[in-house]
Amino acid sequence: MKKVRRKIGKYEVGRTIGEGTFAKVKFAKDSETGKSVAIKVMAKTTILKHKMVDQIKREISIMKIVRHPNIVRLHEVLASQNKIYIILEFVMGGELYDKIVRQGKLSENESRRYFQQLIDAVAHCHKKSVYHRDLKPENLLLDAYGNLKVSDFGLSALTKQGDDLLYTTCGTPNYVAPEVLSNQGYDGAAADVWSCGVILYVLMAGYLPFEEVDLPTLFRRINAAEFVCPFWFSAGAKTLIHKILDSNPKTRMKIEEIRKDPWFQKNYSPVKLREDEQVNLNDVQAVFDDIKDQYVSERSEITKGGPLIMNAFEMITLSQGLNLSPLFDRHQDYVKRQTRFVSREPAKVIISSIEAVAESMGLKAHSRSYKMRIERVFSNKVGQFAVVLEVYEVAPSLFMVDVRKAAGDTLEYHKFYKSLCAKLESIIWRPAETTSDSGLSRQLTF
């Protein structure tokens, strides 16, 4: 079977690096500059079916307005007849969430540095009348230099002068401010500050300040601001966190006060912004209009039969420099939401082996060419668990299996991946030089 590699306008599109209910994120390269980008791909039919036009337009507009070194940059927006393409900065260091999963609690100095960058980014958003409303470690990315980048403005609000309160209850329960749950209107700035306080606690503690098995108990604790700081928090950190996690939004610490706090000020170097860039939102409107001359060209390049060949620019993004050990090493203490292993078995053998293992685990496998979706759907339970696997040829007779969570709980995915690898031990290949435990255990997640 022939495989297809696409080009969207000037972008050469590669592997899928993220997958959600309404969109996929593809890795791509700008063929003019050689720079890596991430392309969020959304079908117009899906947007219309779920009445998401206004939400997507708002998200795109907001990301163009809030340009800041600590916010994922939106380069441009393109459209074909059937799809919308959001071209984003490619942030290769993965989610801050994954760093916490790997390390547990971070040092106070490292936590402070991330918190300073987070506050700078959020302050910039608020200056532009933008309120994120879903701040959490999963939505904070790290670049190649370890700098924080705020992402995912899908639930954000852009207010007009005179609109003081927001009314939509949204966000992630463990990070949401108590007043958001009251259904009486809330100040977006104060709600974002609360979420920042929860994030600081998680960075330094390695666990959540508010966590319960049932939502009513969780909400009661949040409303009462009922939490305890671990003994290893310094006095300055404890004081700051208690002032931020104040259940009363009127007396809760404000961003300008946080920036003046002695604990926050330590080694603080405010980011230098360029002069405000002119923001043109015409292309945002254009992608939703049926104007044929606005359509980007969408071309397919057919390669020979077999799995899609992973080219050099994709290989480099999967490795640390030119050290390819992260591709092969899977002996680690944690598993990220996107993981991979390498095999020297033929691609068809890899696919059939995975299908057999999925069946033995009581899961349903759906294969098409060299891509597979494995899922478990409970008839008596809301929600589902699903994983997507794709086979790439990285060298002659050397194949990489890319695995990523498509739906369900992250911890459940961790367990699934470990079990999958254990059952596929006979086909997984590891080069001899990575068999030791000598620090070659880090994988990149994109």
Contact 386/374 with Cβ under 8 angstroms?
Answer: yes
Amino acid (1-letter code) at residue 191: A
Mark out the alpha helices in 295-334 (DSSP H runs).
312-318, 325-328
- Whether the CB-CB separation of 255 and 122 falls below 8 Å is answered with yes
Report pTM. Answer: 0.69
- Tell me which of 2.60.40.420, 1.10.10.10, 2.40.40.20, 1.10.510.10 is the CATH number of domain 96-265: 1.10.510.10
Q: What pLDDT does residue 337 have?
A: 56
Same fold yes or no, 3-90 and 96-265? no
Q: Which residues are annotated as a binding site for ATP?
A: 49
**Backbone phi, psi, residue 222, to 5°:** -65, -45
**Catalytic residue numbers?**
134
Residues annotated within a binding site: 49
CATH of span 308-430:
3.30.310.80
Q: What is the pLDDT of residue 402?
A: 87
Res 368: pLDDT: 81
Q: List C-alpha distances in Å: 119 to 132, 201, 228, 293, 341.
A: 12, 14, 23, 41, 37
| pLDDT tens digits in sequence order for the chain, 446 residues long | 445 568 888 999 988 887 777 788 889 999 999 999 999 998 888 888 878 888 888 888 899 889 999 999 999 888 888 889 999 999 988 889 888 888 889 999 999 999 999 999 999 999 999 999 999 998 999 998 999 999 988 888 888 755 678 888 788 889 999 999 887 889 999 999 999 999 999 999 999 999 887 888 889 999 999 999 999 999 999 999 999 999 999 999 999 999 999 999 999 998 887 766 666 666 666 666 653 445 566 665 555 566 766 655 455 455 433 334 444 443 333 345 567 888 888 888 999 999 999 988 888 888 887 888 888 766 554 457 888 888 888 777 788 888 888 777 776 787 888 899 989 988 888 765 443 332 222 222 22
- Confidence at residue 437, expressed as pLDDT on a 0 to 100 scale: 35
Residues forming a β-bridge with 11: 8, 30
Question: What pLDDT, on the 0 to 100 scale, is given for residue 98?
Answer: 83
CA distances from 333 to 141, 202, 428 (A): 21, 20, 18
The number of beta carbons lying within 10 Å of the beta carbon of residue 360 is: 10
Confidence at residue 334, expressed as pLDDT on a 0 to 100 scale = 39
Torsion angles phi and psi, residue 376, rounded to 5: -130, 120
3-state secondary structure of 3: strand
The superfamily CATH assigns to domain 3-90 is Phosphorylase Kinase; domain 1 (3.30.200.20)
Distant-in-sequence, close-in-space partners of 405: CB < 8 Å, separation ≥ 6: 337, 338, 386, 387, 413
Q: What is the pLDDT of residue 69?
A: 94
The domains of the chain are located at: 3-90, 96-265, 308-430
Which single residue is written with the structure tokens 């208690």?
A: 242
